[in-house]
Amino acid sequence: MVTFVGKLKTFAEIGDYLTSSLKGMHESAKNVSKNPHTGMKTMDELTLREMEAYARELGVLSIGYTKVNPNFIFKDFEILYDNAVIFTMEMNKELINTNPSSECNK
């Protein structure tokens, strides 16, 4: 059984990782307003293939492309483009079973 103290130790171990992630998310959200609304809406074939190859190097199993459904966007949030890229990866069951742990959370 995982104790409260055990959970706190796990959170302490991943604190820097979570703090860094949250700061990055905040910075990204803050900078959305600086992005041009008239930016490119298509990707040339070479760049697309390079992105797909890089994603596969990182362990991505499948890549999909879809239109963004505006009904799935949080109220008062803005999206810059109508399309989205979806990546899927297999999760490591052994690591998931170590939860709560810093390895699982990463």
From residue 6, alpha-carbon distances to 66, 72, 84, 98 in Å are: 42, 36, 39, 13
Q: Where does residue 55 rank: exposed (0-12), middle (13-18), buried (19+ CB within 10 A)? A: middle
48/17 same-domain check: no
Q: Tell me, yes or no, whether 106 lies in a domain.
A: no
23/49 same-domain check: no
Q: What is the pTM of this model?
A: 0.55
54/70 same-domain check: yes
1/21 same-domain check: yes
Per-residue pLDDT tens over the stretch 21-67:
788 878 877 776 676 666 677 889 999 999 999 999 999 999 999 99
DSSP for 10-25, please give it.
HHHHHHHHHHHHHHHH
Q: Tell me, yes or no, whether 14 lies in a domain.
A: yes
Q: Tell me, yes or no, whether 95 lies in a domain.
A: yes
49/96 same-domain check: yes
47/66 same-domain check: yes
Q: Tell me, yes or no, whether 23 lies in a domain.
A: yes
61/77 same-domain check: yes
Domain that includes residue 23, residue range = 1-35
Per-residue pLDDT tens over the stretch 67-77:
999 888 888 88
Looking at the structure of the chain, the number of domains it has is 2
